[in-house]
Amino acid sequence: MKTIGVIGAGTMGSGIAQLFAQQGMYVVMQDINEALLERGRQGIEKSLQKLASKGKLPEEEAQAAMGRLTCTLKTEDLAACDLVIEAATEQMDIKKKILQGVDAVCGESTILATNTSSLSITELAAATKRPDRFMGIHFFNPVGVMKLVELIEGIATSKETFEAAEAIVKAVGKTPVAVQEAPGFVVNRILIPMINEAVGILAEGVASKEAIDEAMKLGANHPIGPLALADLIGNDVCLAIMEVLYEEFADSKYRPHPLLRKMVRGNRLGRKTSEGFYQY
Protein backbone atom coordinates (compact mmCIF):
# COMPACT_ATOMS: atom_id res chain seq x y z
CA MET A 1 0.00 0.00 0.00
CA LYS A 2 1.38 3.36 -1.01
CA THR A 3 -1.43 5.86 -0.69
CA ILE A 4 -3.62 6.14 2.35
CA GLY A 5 -6.77 8.23 2.54
CA VAL A 6 -7.96 9.64 5.83
CA ILE A 7 -11.43 11.11 6.20
CA GLY A 8 -11.68 13.68 8.97
CA ALA A 9 -8.99 16.12 10.10
CA GLY A 10 -9.82 16.12 13.80
CA THR A 11 -7.61 14.75 16.59
CA MET A 12 -7.72 11.14 15.39
CA GLY A 13 -7.80 11.82 11.64
CA SER A 14 -4.83 14.18 11.71
CA GLY A 15 -2.94 11.83 14.05
CA ILE A 16 -3.49 8.91 11.67
CA ALA A 17 -2.54 11.04 8.64
CA GLN A 18 0.68 12.13 10.35
CA LEU A 19 1.60 8.57 11.28
CA PHE A 20 1.34 7.26 7.71
CA ALA A 21 3.07 10.31 6.17
CA GLN A 22 5.88 10.03 8.70
CA GLN A 23 6.30 6.36 7.81
CA GLY A 24 6.85 7.14 4.13
CA MET A 25 3.38 6.78 2.68
CA TYR A 26 1.45 9.27 0.58
CA VAL A 27 -1.57 10.54 2.48
CA VAL A 28 -4.72 12.28 1.29
CA MET A 29 -6.54 13.85 4.25
CA GLN A 30 -10.09 14.89 3.44
CA ASP A 31 -12.59 16.94 5.43
CA ILE A 32 -15.65 18.92 4.39
CA ASN A 33 -14.85 21.74 6.80
CA GLU A 34 -12.09 23.97 5.42
CA ALA A 35 -11.19 25.52 8.78
CA LEU A 36 -10.93 22.08 10.43
CA LEU A 37 -8.86 20.77 7.56
CA GLU A 38 -6.43 23.66 7.88
CA ARG A 39 -6.28 23.23 11.66
CA GLY A 40 -5.51 19.54 11.16
CA ARG A 41 -2.78 20.32 8.63
CA GLN A 42 -1.21 22.91 10.92
CA GLY A 43 -1.36 20.48 13.84
CA ILE A 44 0.56 17.88 11.83
CA GLU A 45 3.16 20.46 10.79
CA LYS A 46 3.60 21.63 14.38
CA SER A 47 3.87 18.08 15.69
CA LEU A 48 6.49 17.15 13.06
CA GLN A 49 8.47 20.31 13.85
CA LYS A 50 8.33 19.45 17.55
CA LEU A 51 9.72 15.98 16.87
CA ALA A 52 12.47 17.53 14.73
CA SER A 53 13.37 20.10 17.39
CA LYS A 54 13.62 17.31 19.99
CA GLY A 55 15.98 15.45 17.66
CA LYS A 56 13.52 12.55 17.31
CA LEU A 57 13.07 13.07 13.57
CA PRO A 58 15.60 14.55 11.11
CA GLU A 59 14.45 17.97 9.87
CA GLU A 60 14.47 16.80 6.23
CA GLU A 61 12.25 13.81 7.13
CA ALA A 62 9.77 16.11 8.81
CA GLN A 63 9.68 18.20 5.65
CA ALA A 64 9.41 15.12 3.43
CA ALA A 65 6.47 13.87 5.52
CA MET A 66 4.68 17.20 4.99
CA GLY A 67 5.44 16.87 1.28
CA ARG A 68 3.66 13.50 1.19
CA LEU A 69 0.50 14.96 2.71
CA THR A 70 -2.30 16.32 0.52
CA CYS A 71 -5.26 18.04 2.13
CA THR A 72 -8.53 18.24 0.25
CA LEU A 73 -12.21 19.05 0.61
CA LYS A 74 -13.18 16.66 -2.21
CA THR A 75 -14.12 13.00 -1.72
CA GLU A 76 -13.10 12.32 -5.36
CA ASP A 77 -9.47 12.96 -4.37
CA LEU A 78 -9.57 9.71 -2.38
CA ALA A 79 -10.29 7.69 -5.54
CA ALA A 80 -6.75 6.36 -6.06
CA CYS A 81 -6.09 5.38 -2.43
CA ASP A 82 -5.18 1.78 -1.54
CA LEU A 83 -6.73 2.14 1.89
CA VAL A 84 -9.15 4.78 3.17
CA ILE A 85 -9.63 5.17 6.92
CA GLU A 86 -12.71 7.08 8.01
CA ALA A 87 -12.22 9.05 11.23
CA ALA A 88 -15.21 11.39 11.20
CA THR A 89 -17.81 12.16 13.86
CA GLU A 90 -18.97 9.18 15.97
CA GLN A 91 -22.47 9.11 14.50
CA MET A 92 -23.79 6.12 12.59
CA ASP A 93 -25.81 8.07 10.01
CA ILE A 94 -22.99 10.52 9.26
CA LYS A 95 -20.43 7.73 8.93
CA LYS A 96 -22.72 5.72 6.63
CA LYS A 97 -23.20 8.71 4.34
CA ILE A 98 -19.49 9.40 4.19
CA LEU A 99 -18.67 5.75 3.51
CA GLN A 100 -21.25 5.52 0.73
CA GLY A 101 -19.66 8.58 -0.86
CA VAL A 102 -16.14 7.19 -0.75
CA ASP A 103 -17.33 3.71 -1.82
CA ALA A 104 -18.78 5.28 -4.96
CA VAL A 105 -15.53 6.98 -6.02
CA CYS A 106 -12.87 4.44 -5.02
CA GLY A 107 -11.56 1.66 -7.25
CA GLU A 108 -12.45 -2.01 -6.77
CA SER A 109 -9.28 -2.84 -4.88
CA THR A 110 -9.49 -0.04 -2.30
CA ILE A 111 -9.98 -1.26 1.26
CA LEU A 112 -12.31 0.89 3.34
CA ALA A 113 -11.87 1.07 7.09
CA THR A 114 -13.34 2.95 9.99
CA ASN A 115 -11.62 4.23 13.12
CA THR A 116 -14.92 4.11 15.01
CA SER A 117 -14.47 3.65 18.75
CA SER A 118 -17.62 1.58 19.30
CA LEU A 119 -20.08 1.53 16.39
CA SER A 120 -20.94 -1.71 14.58
CA ILE A 121 -18.44 -2.53 11.82
CA THR A 122 -20.98 -4.86 10.21
CA GLU A 123 -23.62 -2.13 10.03
CA LEU A 124 -21.15 0.38 8.56
CA ALA A 125 -19.88 -2.23 6.08
CA ALA A 126 -23.43 -2.98 4.97
CA ALA A 127 -23.82 0.65 3.91
CA THR A 128 -21.15 0.06 1.25
CA LYS A 129 -21.02 -2.24 -1.76
CA ARG A 130 -17.79 -3.84 -0.50
CA PRO A 131 -18.50 -5.35 2.94
CA ASP A 132 -15.77 -7.96 2.28
CA ARG A 133 -13.22 -5.16 1.83
CA PHE A 134 -14.29 -3.28 4.94
CA MET A 135 -13.15 -3.47 8.57
CA GLY A 136 -12.37 -1.52 11.71
CA ILE A 137 -8.84 -0.16 12.19
CA HIS A 138 -8.97 1.47 15.60
CA PHE A 139 -6.12 3.74 16.70
CA PHE A 140 -5.64 5.23 20.15
CA ASN A 141 -5.12 8.81 21.25
CA PRO A 142 -2.44 10.21 20.95
CA VAL A 143 -1.88 8.22 17.76
CA GLY A 144 1.84 9.01 17.61
CA VAL A 145 2.44 7.61 21.09
CA MET A 146 -0.01 4.71 21.58
CA LYS A 147 1.30 1.40 20.26
CA LEU A 148 -1.97 -0.50 19.96
CA VAL A 149 -4.30 -0.80 16.98
CA GLU A 150 -7.45 -2.92 17.28
CA LEU A 151 -8.26 -4.72 14.02
CA ILE A 152 -11.97 -5.47 13.98
CA GLU A 153 -13.66 -7.84 11.58
CA GLY A 154 -17.25 -7.34 10.53
CA ILE A 155 -19.39 -10.31 9.59
CA ALA A 156 -18.27 -10.17 5.94
CA THR A 157 -14.64 -9.00 6.25
CA SER A 158 -12.45 -11.22 4.07
CA LYS A 159 -9.25 -12.87 5.24
CA GLU A 160 -7.31 -10.94 2.56
CA THR A 161 -8.65 -7.62 3.82
CA PHE A 162 -7.73 -8.45 7.40
CA GLU A 163 -4.23 -9.56 6.43
CA ALA A 164 -3.62 -6.45 4.33
CA ALA A 165 -4.65 -4.25 7.27
CA GLU A 166 -2.50 -6.25 9.65
CA ALA A 167 0.51 -5.83 7.37
CA ILE A 168 0.13 -2.06 7.00
CA VAL A 169 -0.40 -1.54 10.73
CA LYS A 170 2.78 -3.49 11.47
CA ALA A 171 4.63 -1.59 8.73
CA VAL A 172 3.94 1.72 10.50
CA GLY A 173 5.27 0.32 13.78
CA LYS A 174 2.04 -0.40 15.62
CA THR A 175 1.00 -3.59 17.38
CA PRO A 176 -2.30 -4.98 16.12
CA VAL A 177 -4.69 -7.15 18.09
CA ALA A 178 -7.43 -9.11 16.33
CA VAL A 179 -10.90 -8.46 17.69
CA GLN A 180 -14.28 -9.79 16.66
CA GLU A 181 -16.96 -7.16 16.43
CA ALA A 182 -18.60 -6.43 19.78
CA PRO A 183 -19.75 -3.14 21.33
CA GLY A 184 -16.70 -1.12 22.44
CA PHE A 185 -14.40 -3.88 21.10
CA VAL A 186 -11.86 -4.66 23.87
CA VAL A 187 -10.21 -1.48 25.14
CA ASN A 188 -13.19 0.84 25.25
CA ARG A 189 -15.44 -1.79 26.84
CA ILE A 190 -13.06 -1.80 29.79
CA LEU A 191 -11.72 1.76 29.73
CA ILE A 192 -14.85 3.86 29.26
CA PRO A 193 -16.97 2.22 32.00
CA MET A 194 -13.97 2.82 34.28
CA ILE A 195 -14.06 6.52 33.37
CA ASN A 196 -17.85 6.57 33.89
CA GLU A 197 -17.31 5.08 37.36
CA ALA A 198 -14.74 7.77 38.16
CA VAL A 199 -17.31 10.42 37.15
CA GLY A 200 -19.78 8.75 39.55
CA ILE A 201 -17.24 8.80 42.37
CA LEU A 202 -16.66 12.51 41.72
CA ALA A 203 -20.42 13.24 41.61
CA GLU A 204 -20.98 11.42 44.91
CA GLY A 205 -18.31 13.57 46.55
CA VAL A 206 -16.30 10.50 47.54
CA ALA A 207 -13.09 12.22 46.47
CA SER A 208 -11.90 15.31 44.58
CA LYS A 209 -10.97 15.02 40.89
CA GLU A 210 -7.31 15.38 41.81
CA ALA A 211 -7.60 12.65 44.45
CA ILE A 212 -9.39 10.26 42.06
CA ASP A 213 -6.74 10.74 39.40
CA GLU A 214 -3.86 10.49 41.87
CA ALA A 215 -5.38 7.30 43.30
CA MET A 216 -5.53 5.58 39.91
CA LYS A 217 -2.08 6.81 38.88
CA LEU A 218 -0.37 5.59 42.03
CA GLY A 219 -2.69 2.73 42.91
CA ALA A 220 -3.15 1.15 39.50
CA ASN A 221 -0.06 2.49 37.71
CA HIS A 222 -2.09 4.30 35.04
CA PRO A 223 -0.11 7.01 33.22
CA ILE A 224 -2.87 9.56 33.83
CA GLY A 225 -5.98 9.42 35.99
CA PRO A 226 -9.43 8.57 34.57
CA LEU A 227 -10.78 12.14 34.65
CA ALA A 228 -7.70 13.57 32.94
CA LEU A 229 -8.06 10.74 30.42
CA ALA A 230 -11.73 11.64 29.84
CA ASP A 231 -10.56 15.17 29.02
CA LEU A 232 -7.96 13.74 26.60
CA ILE A 233 -10.43 11.43 24.84
CA GLY A 234 -13.25 14.00 24.92
CA ASN A 235 -16.26 13.74 27.21
CA ASP A 236 -18.54 13.68 24.16
CA VAL A 237 -16.68 10.64 22.81
CA CYS A 238 -16.82 8.94 26.23
CA LEU A 239 -20.57 9.59 26.42
CA ALA A 240 -21.16 8.32 22.88
CA ILE A 241 -19.33 5.07 23.72
CA MET A 242 -21.29 4.61 26.97
CA GLU A 243 -24.53 5.15 25.03
CA VAL A 244 -23.56 2.42 22.55
CA LEU A 245 -22.63 -0.03 25.34
CA TYR A 246 -25.86 0.77 27.22
CA GLU A 247 -28.05 0.40 24.15
CA GLU A 248 -26.38 -2.70 22.72
CA PHE A 249 -26.14 -4.68 25.96
CA ALA A 250 -29.30 -3.23 27.58
CA ASP A 251 -27.46 -3.62 30.88
CA SER A 252 -27.71 -0.91 33.56
CA LYS A 253 -24.04 -1.34 34.42
CA TYR A 254 -23.29 0.66 31.28
CA ARG A 255 -25.65 3.58 32.10
CA PRO A 256 -23.86 6.88 31.40
CA HIS A 257 -23.55 8.90 34.59
CA PRO A 258 -25.74 12.06 34.60
CA LEU A 259 -22.67 14.18 35.39
CA LEU A 260 -21.02 12.96 32.17
CA ARG A 261 -24.13 14.06 30.25
CA LYS A 262 -24.13 17.40 32.07
CA MET A 263 -20.50 18.02 31.14
CA VAL A 264 -21.25 17.36 27.47
CA ARG A 265 -24.40 19.51 27.52
CA GLY A 266 -22.29 22.33 29.00
CA ASN A 267 -19.70 21.90 26.22
CA ARG A 268 -17.07 20.92 28.80
CA LEU A 269 -15.69 18.35 26.42
CA GLY A 270 -12.13 18.34 27.70
CA ARG A 271 -8.92 19.52 26.07
CA LYS A 272 -10.57 20.31 22.75
CA THR A 273 -12.87 22.96 24.31
CA SER A 274 -10.19 24.05 26.83
CA GLU A 275 -12.40 22.90 29.69
CA GLY A 276 -13.51 19.53 30.95
CA PHE A 277 -12.90 18.14 34.40
CA TYR A 278 -9.81 20.36 34.28
CA GLN A 279 -9.02 23.68 32.58
CA TYR A 280 -6.53 23.81 29.69
- Of 32 and 146, the one with the shorter C-beta distance to ligand CAA is 146
Helix/strand/coil for 173: coil
Instruction: Tell me which residues are annotated as active site.
Output: 117, 138, 150, 188
Q: Does residue 141 belong to the site contacting ligand CAA (CB under 6 A)? A: yes
Give me the helices (H) in the chain, please.
11-22, 34-53, 59-67, 92-105, 121-126, 159-171, 187-203, 209-220, 226-233, 235-249, 258-265
- Beta carbon of residue 150, minimum distance to ligand CAA (angstroms, whole number): 9
Q: Does residue 18 belong to the site contacting ligand CAA (CB under 6 A)? A: no
CA distance 68 to 89: 25
145, 159, 250, 252: residue in contact with ligand CAA (rule CB under 6 A): 145
Q: Does residue 120 belong to the site contacting ligand CAA (CB under 6 A)? A: no
7, 37, 113, 229: residue in contact with ligand CAA (rule CB under 6 A): 229
47 to 86: interface string for ligand CAA, x by CB under 6 A: x------x--------------------------------
CA distance 138 to 186: 11
CA distance 55 to 31: 31
65, 151, 191, 239: residue in contact with ligand CAA (rule CB under 6 A): 191
Q: Does residue 144 belong to the site contacting ligand CAA (CB under 6 A)? A: yes
Q: Does residue 250 belong to the site contacting ligand CAA (CB under 6 A)? A: no
3, 14, 75, 117: residue in contact with ligand CAA (rule CB under 6 A): 117
How many C-beta atoms lie closer than 10 Å to residue 279's C-beta?
8
CA distance 22 to 14: 12
Which residues pair with residue 30 across a beta bridge? 7, 72
- Beta carbon of residue 238, minimum distance to ligand CAA (angstroms, whole number): 7
